[in-house]
């Protein structure tokens, strides 16, 4: 993509309303624009990252056997009266009447609707297990929306729901999702830890919160030092063994009951990005959901529910990966893999070289943002650092004369002078490929 | 995808509430489920088609130079008071208060918000032209939602908006979008015609509606016979010449003014799926939007706006492409390219052959829905016809013994017996490829 044809409004100044670094950087790097309290537009660069995060979440869940569907953002309140949650959610649930005075709500979560879909179509234990998920906009009318997309009102969420003929099978799927979530966060370039959690308004028997570790995380996390060894590859454990290691956030950490000695216990700051619940029959009891068992008798269905804050993840990734100059995108979610800078758009040879490299990167399937504008070199460098693409490829008049360009790694800051061909080769070899638009 | 692991609830009976064929088939083929009046869930098979349609619309627009972003579904009503449309849209626009009694609306269209994004960031004529689009859920509180996704309340829409420094340049982009829309509908496997249209509540100087031709279309379309020759490849015209040919729908067709003699005039039924408007300064006047020109003086910005009903397109495709047995998906939007039927899941050799073919199709990148259930052959055949995948590949015990399978083309009904290898080769050679999930 040529920057001259793109829409990338960068801000020089730090926006006063942004209190945390990810919010500041998302506004400054032209990823989002606030439209009203807790409501954001995703500008083109931000939308590209959101799409990549969505694709990774979806692909990993499909790999784990989940099936994707999509429910509408609005729904009737009837099912919520049936489940008993109509009153439980209070003012955070946005309710209103349509033109016929029928009450609707903007879904904050979809247990009721999916249970209704399930009971409409699934009648036999033979059709189980089933794990359905969607990625859809949700709304929670937060009393004080803040921190940008980290605590917005309209947010993009992955919500999954599984159905089982026994609690044992639901527990097996809970472990499957526990593993899938770790795979998702790892592929997103994040260090995550699953902590024991309270099941709150969703309900159920067992629950884990997935926290992304980041210096300015909102909660304090306490965990067994073995987690660090697992991450460093020094220790191999099964997923079951991992679930038995101690890990808890603020609210549930009790020093008196913690099995890890205080001097060994590790702590870190974390941002909650996912939550899984073994539900049991909370909703299927309330909504009377049975299938027939092998003998033709009614069998109460067991459930699990699994959420990931997809839009929130962008904030979490930036909190975990940035420096003074701006964002540092992990390769798998970077909006483009390389920023190609033409230092002198008015220099004929320089432009010819930049154009040639741009077209070769395109052919190699490397997603490239090409700064072909006549801005100053200083502005171009600062802009590229701010938006945080993994590689920068700088084409300047001096280098072009000797057939070299400068290749900069955004994360390490390392710069090398290499031939055009080698620059293309290096970038192309180390980045995920997709035909560039 | 194995059918035993998928979620595909097919209906045997015609649902009584469905008055038109696309609505009936979408319910029966397990594509959608109604959740409330005009609100639909997209079941897994339907969502796959919706995704493909979305991808084609998005890719073609990006090819034509448009840049994608995403606005929230909800917005404040403030900008609509500024533009003067707060009162114009009446009860079709869903309005409600949040917990702080601030009025919000569920966007039916986004001229106001995009104009506000534009004026926030774009200050100079040098940044023009700019064509921004989104594909996002919209809501119109139709008084009588009907015909399934053809006239739902919550619907998926592509809305694009372009900004220009002269009316001449806006007119150039209007022609660019006119061509892009034809390319989109062609790639979706549809025959479309652009008719002169009324610009209604959106406003502006010039407008075309894009109608998909289908026997049971909602409107009558009158057009110059040259359009049929263009489609048949008998006549070559420029896009400008095409726009000058006569074509009008019901409301705007005036026999007295029609330049085509009555005996030459062609008519057909059409379904509106897109609408483009040359807006001029309607919104930029109301919202005071200028950029600075080359002399530093204020220049009023010219606009165009361009819509496509993405969810509605699924209904239109089915209206245009079905038979007694069910849907016939055009290859580019088919949820899977081939339905692999194992006629005898309890026959060891038959299952071995089916599994082998399934894994080879997967390796060849052919999206396959594999009916591995123990349903009867008759039920499997009827189900595959109903869901309308381009190819059916039938593995039966008799054929397996002699090393052949039956390959059926859903559209022509043609069946041939071929070797396993040839079946895979044929399907793989004629279908768009994508790594199957």
- Per the domain annotation, does A328 fall within a domain? no
Q: Which of B5, B9, B69, B71 to mutate to test the interface with A (most CBs of A within 10 A)?
A: B69
Residue by residue, DSSP assigns B207-223 as EEEEEEE-TT-SEEEEE
Contact A44 B97 (CB under 8 A): no
* Same domain? B159 vs B11: yes
Contact A7 B130 (CB under 8 A): yes
Nearest CA to B31 out of B314, B336, B337 is that of: B314
* Same domain? A312 vs A346: no
pLDDT of B141: 96
- How many angstroms separate the CA of residue A401 from the nearest CA in chain B? 31
- Per the domain annotation, does B104 fall within a domain? yes
- How many angstroms separate the CA of residue A98 from the nearest CA in chain B? 7
pLDDT of A202: 59
Contact B91 A74 (CB under 8 A): no
Q: Which residues of chain A are within 8 Å of residue B5 when distances are taken between CB atoms?
A: 65, 67
* Same domain? A366 vs A308: no
- How many angstroms separate the CA of residue A31 from the nearest CA in chain B? 10
Q: Which of A4, A98, A162 to mutate to test the interface with B (most CBs of B within 10 A)?
A: A98
pLDDT tens digit string along A322-349? 999 999 999 999 999 999 999 999 999 9
Residue B226 has pLDDT above 50, yes or no: yes
> pLDDT exceeding 70 applies to what percent of chain B?
97
- Per the domain annotation, does A436 fall within a domain? no
Residue A294 has pLDDT above 50, yes or no: yes
Q: How many CB atoms lie within 10 A of CB B159?
A: 22
pLDDT tens digit string along B289-339? 999 999 999 999 999 999 999 999 999 999 999 999 999 999 999 999 999
Contact B120 A9 (CB under 8 A): yes
Mean per-residue pLDDT of chain B: 94
Candidate from A47, A102, A132 with C-beta closest to B70 = A47
Beta bridge partners of B190: none
* Same domain? A269 vs A381: no
Residue A1 has pLDDT above 80, yes or no: yes
Which chain A residue lies closest to B114 (C-alpha atoms)? A41
* Same domain? B352 vs B312: no
* Same domain? A345 vs A275: no
Residue B388's pLDDT band, with cuts at 50, 70 and 90, is very high
Candidate from A37, A73, A98 with C-beta closest to B141 = A98
Contact B41 A67 (CB under 8 A): no
- Per the domain annotation, does B98 fall within a domain? yes
Chain-centroid distance of CA B81 in Å reads 32
Contact A74 B106 (CB under 8 A): yes
Domain end marker among B270, B295, B323: B323
Candidate from A9, A70, A139 with C-beta closest to B42 = A70
Residue A304 has pLDDT above 60, yes or no: yes
Mean pLDDT within A202-212: 82
Contact A73 B43 (CB under 8 A): no
Q: Which residues of chain B are within 8 Å of residue A437 when distances are taken between CB atoms?
A: 59, 62
Residue A41's pLDDT band, with cuts at 50, 70 and 90, is very high
Candidate from B113, B154, B437 with C-beta closest to A62 = B437
CB pairs under 8 A between A and B: 139
Which chain A residue lies closest to B70 (C-alpha atoms)? A42
Q: State how far the Cα of B131 lies from the Cα of B304, in Å rounded to an integer.
A: 9
Contact A99 B143 (CB under 8 A): yes
pLDDT tens digit string along A72-97? 999 999 999 999 999 988 899 999 99
- Per the domain annotation, does B331 fall within a domain? no
* Same domain? A288 vs A159: yes
pLDDT tens digit string along A223-261? 999 999 998 999 999 988 998 899 998 888 989 989 999
Q: Residue B348 is part of a domain; what is its CATH number?
A: 3.40.50.800
Q: Which residues of chain B are within 8 Å of residue A375 when distances are taken between CB atoms?
A: none
Residue B436 has pLDDT above 80, yes or no: no
pLDDT of A331: 96
Candidate from A5, A37, A65 with C-beta closest to B65 = A5
- Per the domain annotation, does A68 fall within a domain? yes
End-to-end CA distance of chain A: 7
Q: Which of A11, A54, A70, A373 to mutate to test the interface with B (most CBs of B within 10 A)?
A: A70
Domain end marker among A293, A323, A353: A323
- How many angstroms separate the CA of residue A333 from the nearest CA in chain B? 17
Overall number of domains in chain A = 2
- Per the domain annotation, does B328 fall within a domain? no
> pLDDT exceeding 90 applies to what percent of chain B?
89
- How many angstroms separate the CA of residue B301 from the nearest CA in chain A? 17
* Same domain? B301 vs B341: no
Mean pLDDT within A155-176: 97
Mean pLDDT within A362-383: 96
Q: Which residues of chain B are within 8 Å of residue A106 when distances are taken between CB atoms?
A: 74
pLDDT of B180: 98
Candidate from A40, A65, A117 with C-beta closest to B72 = A40
pLDDT tens digit string along B87-139? 988 999 999 999 999 999 999 999 999 999 999 999 999 999 999 999 999 99
pLDDT of A80: 96
Contact A117 B75 (CB under 8 A): no
Residue B224 has pLDDT above 80, yes or no: yes
Q: Which residues of chain B are within 8 Å of residue A65 when distances are taken between CB atoms?
A: 5
> Residue B407 is part of which domain span?
336-429
Contact A41 B113 (CB under 8 A): yes
Q: Residue B160 is part of a domain; what is its CATH number?
A: 3.30.930.10
Mean per-residue pLDDT of chain A: 94
- How many angstroms separate the CA of residue B42 from the nearest CA in chain A? 5
Q: Which residues of chain B are within 8 Å of residue A70 when distances are taken between CB atoms?
A: 41-42, 47, 50
Q: Which residues of chain B are within 8 Å of residue A32 when distances are taken between CB atoms?
A: none
Q: Please give the DSSP secondary-structure letter assigned to residue B346.
A: T
- How many angstroms separate the CA of residue B206 from the nearest CA in chain A? 26
Mean pLDDT within A107-132: 98
Domain end marker among B323, B346, B362: B323
Q: Which residues of chain B are within 8 Å of residue A74 when distances are taken between CB atoms?
A: 36, 39, 106, 139, 153-154
* Same domain? B318 vs B361: no
Q: What is the 3-state secondary structure (H, E, C) of chain A?
A: CEHHHCCCCCCCCCCCCCCCHHHHHHHHCCCEEEEECCEEEECHHHHHHHHHHHHHHHHHHHHCCCEECECCCEEECHHHHHHCCCCCCHHHCCEEECCCCCEEEECCCCHHHHHHHHHHHCCEHHHCCEEEEEEEEEECCCCCCECHHHECCEEEEEEEEEEECCHHHHHHHHHHHHHHHHHHHHHCCCCEEEEECCCCCCCCCEEEEEEEECCCCCEEEEECCHHHHHHCCCCCCCHHHHHHCCEEEHHHCCCCCCCCCCCCCEEEEEEEEEEEEEEECHHHHHCCCEEECCCCCEEECEEEEEEEEHHHHHHHHHHHCEECCEECCCHHHCCCCEEEEECCCCCHHHHHHHHHHHHHHHHCCCCEEEECCCCCHHHHHHHHHHHCCCEEEEECHHHHHCCEEEEEECCCCCEEEEEHHHHHHHHHHHCCCCCCC
pLDDT tens digit string along B72-88? 999 999 999 999 999 98
* Same domain? A314 vs A405: no
* Same domain? A23 vs A85: yes
Q: Are B281 and B290 in contact (CB under 8 A)?
A: no
Residue B200's pLDDT band, with cuts at 50, 70 and 90, is low
Contact B71 A41 (CB under 8 A): yes
* Same domain? B366 vs B307: no
Q: Are B174 and B276 in contact (CB under 8 A)?
A: yes
Contact B132 A7 (CB under 8 A): yes
Residue B146 has pLDDT above 80, yes or no: yes
Q: Which of B7, B49, B362 to mutate to test the interface with A (most CBs of A within 10 A)?
A: B7
Residue B269's pLDDT band, with cuts at 50, 70 and 90, is very high
End-to-end CA distance of chain B: 7
Residue B239's pLDDT band, with cuts at 50, 70 and 90, is confident
- Per the domain annotation, does B20 fall within a domain? yes
pTM over 0.80: yes
Candidate from A35, A75, A141 with C-beta closest to B35 = A75
């Amino acid at each position: 993509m040529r920057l001259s044809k793109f829409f990338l409004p960068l801000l020089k100044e730090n926006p006063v309303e942004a209190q945390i670094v990810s919010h500041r950087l998302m506004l400054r790097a032209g990823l989002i624009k606030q439209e009203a309290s807790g409501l954001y537009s995703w500008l083109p660069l931000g939308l590209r990252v959101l799409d990549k995060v969505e694709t990774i979440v979806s692909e990993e869940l499909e790999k784990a056997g989940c099936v994707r569907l999509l429910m509408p953002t609005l729904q009737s309140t009837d099912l919520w009266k049936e489940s008993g949650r109509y009153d439980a959610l209070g003012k955070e649930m946005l309710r209103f009447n349509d033109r016929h005075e029928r009450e609707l709500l903007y879904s904050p979560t979809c247990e009721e609707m999916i249970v209704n879909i399930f009971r409409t179509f699934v009648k036999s234990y033979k059709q189980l297990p089933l794990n359905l998920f969607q990625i859809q906009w949700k709304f929670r009318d937060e009393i004080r929306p803040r921190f940008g997309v980290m605590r917005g009102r309209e947010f993009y969420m992955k919500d999954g729901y599984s159905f089982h003929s026994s609690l044992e099978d639901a527990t097996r799927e809970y472990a499957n999702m526990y593993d899938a979530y770790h795979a998702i966060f790892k592929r997103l370039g994040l260090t995550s830890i699953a902590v024991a959690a309270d099941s709150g308004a969703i309900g159920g028997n067992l629950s884990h919160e997935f926290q992304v570790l980041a210096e300015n995380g909102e909660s304090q996390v306490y965990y067994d030092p073995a987690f660090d060894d697992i991450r460093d590859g020094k220790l191999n454990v099964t997923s079951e063994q991992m679930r038995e290691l101690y890990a808890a956030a603020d609210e549930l950490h009790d020093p008196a009951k913690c099995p890890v000695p205080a001097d060994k216990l590790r702590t870190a700051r974390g941002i909650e990005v996912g939550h899984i619940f073994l539900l049991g029959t909370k909703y299927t009891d309330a909504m009377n959901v049975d299938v027939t068992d092998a003998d033709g008798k009614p069998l109460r269905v067991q459930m699990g529910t699994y959420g990931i804050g997809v839009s929130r993840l962008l904030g979490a990734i930036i909190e975990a990966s940035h420096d003074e100059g701006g964002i540092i995108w992990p390769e798998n979610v970077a909006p483009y893999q390389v920023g190609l800078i033409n230092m002198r758009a008015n220099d004929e040879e320089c432009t010819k070289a930049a154009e040639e490299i741009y077209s070769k990167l395109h052919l190699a399937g490397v997603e490239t943002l090409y700064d072909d504008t006549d801005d100053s070199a200083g502005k171009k460098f600062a802009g590229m650092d701010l938006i945080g693409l993994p590689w920068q490829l700088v084409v300047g008049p001096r280098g072009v004369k000797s057939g070299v360009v400068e290749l900069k790694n955004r994360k390490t800051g390392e710069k090398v002078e290499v031939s055009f061909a080698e620059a293309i080769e290096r970038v192309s070899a180390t980045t995920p490929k997709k035909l560039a638009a």
